[in-house]
Structure 1
Amino acid sequence: MEPAAPGPPGNSNLITLFLCGDVMTGRGIDQILPYSNPPAIHEPYMETATDYVRFAEKVNGPIPKPVDFAYIWGDALEELVLASPDVRIINLETSITTSEDWLPKGINYRMHPKNVPCITAAKIDCCVLANNHVLDWGYAGLAETLETLKKAGVSTAGAGDNLDQAEAAAIMEVAGKGRMLVFSLGSVTSGIPPDWAASENKAGVNLLEGFSEKTVRAIAESVREVKQPGDIVIASIHWGSNWGYYIPPEQRAFAHQLIEKAGVNIIHGHSSHHPKGIEIYQESPILYGCGDFLNDYEGIRGYEKYRGELTLMYFVSMEAGTGKVCHLEMVPLQIKHFRLNRASREDRQWLQETLTREGKKLGTQVKEGSHHTLILKWE
C-alpha cells in the first residue's frame, strides 16, 4: 500500500501539528522492547505483563523479540516524514521507571527508562502527562519519568514536583513561525484519583476542579501569564470515559469557554479508547477523544464494536500568528503485532463513516482524501 501524503498545499505561513491519543508503552509493549522491566504486575486477573504479549500472538501471530526502538511506530514513521509537522505531541500514558512502589489501583503501566528511545525514535517534541497512569508506580516513578524525558530532550506538561510545575506550559519555538504553548490538564472523569492532584508542596498532576467558569478563569490567567502575540495555545485534556461516543454537555461547554475566554486555539482531548467526533468552534478544532494510539490490548475481548484497534494520526494545520485552523487531515492506522500499520480500505471507510456520523452532531463531516487519508470538512 502506498504511503499517505497528508497536508494542505504548501504554505510557509502555516504551522502543522501532529497530535494523537494515548501512547501506552508500558506493560506488554515494554516486554518486547530491549530493556523491559520485571514482568510481574498487580491486576485482578493477570499476574504478568508477558500474558499480554501471549494474547496478542495468539490472535495475530508471533512478535519478534526484542524489537528495535522504532518498531512500535511502524508505518507512522513514514507518515511523519511525509507530513513533516512542526510540532509532535502525544499523551504518554505510562510511567517511565524501574520503581517498585506500585499503587493498588488495579492497572499499573510502566516502561523501563532505557526504552525511552522508543519515544525519541518518532521525534516527539512534547509528552502531556496529566493522565491516570503517570503515577501508577508512585512519586518515585513520577520523578524518574520527568527526569528521563528531560534527559532525552522531550518537553513535558501536566505533571511536576509541585503545582507550579504541573500547571506550567511546555513552550516550543517553531522557527520563523512563532511559539506553541501546551497546557496539560486532567479530569477525575478519566479515572485520575483526586489525591494525585499536585499542590504547592506536593508532586502530582494538573487536575481540574471540575468544568466550571471558575476553572476557566484560572486557566485563562495561566495562559495570560505566558502568552505573547502570535502564540498558539493547546489545551490537552484527559477527560471522560473509555468507551462510547457521547460527549457530555459540560465538556462541550467547557471546551467552548476555553476558546472564547482563555485564548485556547486547540482542544486536544483524550482518554477514550477510540476516536470520537470532532468540532470546529470559532475557527478552533476540538478533538473530543483521539482514541488510543499505541497499546497492548490485542487479544483482549470486549467492546469490539468500537474498533479500538483502529487509530488516527491527526495533522492540524493552523495559520501562524492567528491560530486559525486551515486544514485537518487524518491518517488511519491499525494496531497489530504491537505496531502501527496502515489501515485497509474497509477500515478507512469504517472510520470515515463513524466520524461523519458523530461529527454531524457537531457540524463536521469526514471525506476521503488523496493517498488514503481522511479530511475533516466543516460548515
Structure 2
Amino acid sequence: MPQIANNAAARSSAKLFLCGDVMLGRGIDQILANPGDPHLSERYVKSATTYVELAERIDGPIPRKVDDAYVWGDALSELEREAPDARIINLETSITTSLSLAPKGINYKMNPANIGCLAAARVGCCVLANNHVLDWDEPGLVETLGTLRHAGLVYAGAGLDADEAAAPAVIELAGGGRVLVFGFALETSGVPASWAAGAYKPGVNLLADVSARSLAQIARSVQAIKQPGDLAVASIHWGGNWGYEVPAEERALAHALIDVAGFDVVHGHSSHHPKPIEIHNGRLILYGCGDFLTDYEGITGYETFRGEFALMYLPRLAIPDGTLVSLDLVPFQLAKFRLNRARPEDAAWLAAMLERECSPFGTHVAPLGSDNRLTVVW
C-alpha cells in the first residue's frame, strides 16, 4: 500500500468512526439491487428471503431492489456531519457467488454486484478477522478479497496467506499521519482453528494464544511500521454474542495490546449488543461494539439486550501520543433493515445501560444534548 511522508505537526487530533458487526449478507443481500442466490442450508431456514419475511412481520413491508445507501439510513447524514478522518467497520460477511458452503450451520454472503453498498458509506477499512468471512470456504474468501481490492477498499485481518492476514490496513490522514488497523480473531468468537491463514493458505489472522511470546511478536509488527503521528488500532473479534460480562482474560489482553504492543485503540466486536467501555492509560478499549447492520430484526430471543439498537462510536484521539480526547456515541435503531435515529426514550435506555455496565470500569455515559447523542467521561 502506498505510504506518505508524515507531517504530524499539521494536526493535533484525529476522529475515527468505529462500529460493530456489519452483516450485509443473507437477508440484507436479498433487498439490495442485485440479490444473490438465496439458498441456505440452515437447520430451520432454507432461503435468505425468509429473514426478510420475518422482519416484515415486525415492522411492515421492506422495499426491494433498494439503492446502495438505503441500509445506512440516517447514519449517512451523521457521518457527513461528523466527517471522521477514518471509517472502520467489522465486515462480517463474505462477498461471493461461491457455492462451497462451509459446514457450520449459519452462512452469510453478499453478491459482489452489491459492493456499492460499502462505497455508499465511504468505508475506509473493512476488518475481516471474524467468524463469517470464510462461510463459503476458501473460494469465497478469495473472491471477497478480490472484490474489495477491485472496489478500492482496504481490509485487515484476512488474506491470501498469513503475512497478508497479519498486515495492517493503512489509512492515510489528510495533513499527515496514518491510521494502522490490525485485525485479529480469537477462537472464543466461534472462528475455527482451521480458518487460520498459513504460509500458502488463505485465511484469517487467528491468535492461537495470547502468551507473552505472541504479544511480543505483535509488538514487533506494530513497531516495524508505526511512525510518529500514526495511530494504531487493534480490531479484534472475541467472545460470545450475548452477555455484558468481560472475561478477565479479555481485559488482560486488551491492557497488554496497549501496554506491550503499543496500540492506541482496542476495537472489540462479536457481541450482538454494546458492552463496557474502558479507558486504560489514556487509551480506548471497546469490549464489544454490538451489531450495526444485520438481518436479525425478525428473530426472537434475548430481547432484554435490545439488539435492535446500534451505536456509532466517534473517538477523537490526540496526535502524536494516541490518547483519547473525547468519545461521543450516536444511537440508532434498526428497522426495515435500515438505520434510523433512535428515539429519546431509546437513547435514555442505552445511556442507563451503558452507565450501569461501564461504571465498574471507571467510565460514565450521559446524554450529550437534545439530539439523543451520548458522551463518555472518565
Provide the TM-score with structure 2 as the length reference: 0.96
Aligned residues: 368
**Per the alignment, in what secondary structure is the counterpart of residue 221 of structure 1?**
helix
1:210 and 1:374 mapped to 2: Cα distance? 36
1:229 and 1:299 mapped to 2: Cα distance? 47
Does 1:376 find its partner at 2:376? yes
Give runs of aligned pairs for residues 124-273 of structure 1, distance below 5 A: 124-273=123-272
In the other structure, the counterpart of 2:328 is: 329
1:167 and 1:176 mapped to 2: Cα distance? 27
Q: Which amino acid aligns with 1:297?
A: Y
2:231 and 2:297 mapped to 1: Cα distance? 37
Q: Which amino acid aligns with 2:59?
A: N
2:325 and 2:17 mapped to 1: Cα distance? 14
Contact 1:159 1:203 in 2 (8 A): yes
2:201 and 2:11 mapped to 1: Cα distance? 43
Gaps of 5+ in 2: 1-9
In the other structure, the counterpart of 1:353 is: 352
Q: Which amino acid aligns with 2:377?
A: K
Contact 2:17 2:88 in 1 (8 A): yes
Does 1:307 find its partner at 2:310? no
**Per the alignment, in what secondary structure is the counterpart of residue 15 of structure 1?**
strand
In the other structure, the counterpart of 2:116 is: 117
Report Cα offsets for 1:309-360 as digits up to 9, x if no partner. Answer: 0010000101121111100000000010001000111110110011111101
2:320 and 2:312 mapped to 1: Cα distance? 24
1:252 and 1:205 mapped to 2: Cα distance? 22
2:343 and 2:167 mapped to 1: Cα distance? 40
Q: Which amino acid aligns with 2:247?
A: P
1:298 and 1:225 mapped to 2: Cα distance? 43
In the other structure, the counterpart of 1:20 is: 19
Report Cα offsets for 1:178-208 as digits up to 9, x if no partner. Answer: 1110000000000001100011111100000
Provide the TM-score with structure 1 as the length reference: 0.96
2:114 and 2:17 mapped to 1: Cα distance? 22
Contact 2:331 2:341 in 1 (8 A): yes
Q: Which amino acid aligns with 2:97?
A: T
Contact 2:11 2:175 in 1 (8 A): no
Q: Which amino acid aligns with 1:298?
A: E
Q: Which amino acid aligns with 2:34?
A: Y
2:289 and 2:151 mapped to 1: Cα distance? 25
1:190 and 1:183 mapped to 2: Cα distance? 17
Contact 2:30 2:49 in 1 (8 A): yes
Does 1:104 find its partner at 2:128? no
2:374 and 2:343 mapped to 1: Cα distance? 13
Range 325-334 or range 368-377, more displaced: 368-377
Q: Which amino acid aligns with 2:123?
A: I
1:196 and 1:15 mapped to 2: Cα distance? 34
- Cα RMSD (Å) of the superposition? 1.0
Shift of 1:152: 1.0
Q: Which amino acid aligns with 1:134?
A: V
**Per the alignment, in what secondary structure is the counterpart of residue 360 of structure 2?**
helix
In the other structure, the counterpart of 1:367 is: 366
2:350 and 2:196 mapped to 1: Cα distance? 35
Q: Which amino acid aligns with 2:348?
A: Q
Gaps of 5+ in 1: 1-10
1:319 and 1:177 mapped to 2: Cα distance? 14
2:99 and 2:125 mapped to 1: Cα distance? 26
Report Cα offsets for 1:58-80 as digits up to 9, x if no partner. Answer: 11000111111100000000000
Contact 2:343 2:372 in 1 (8 A): no
Range 104-113 or range 205-214, more displaced: 205-214
Contact 1:177 1:320 in 2 (8 A): no
Contact 1:13 1:177 in 2 (8 A): no
Shift of 1:12: 5.0
2:117 and 2:339 mapped to 1: Cα distance? 13
Q: Which amino acid aligns with 1:260?
A: D
Contact 1:211 1:251 in 2 (8 A): no
Shift of 1:177: 3.8
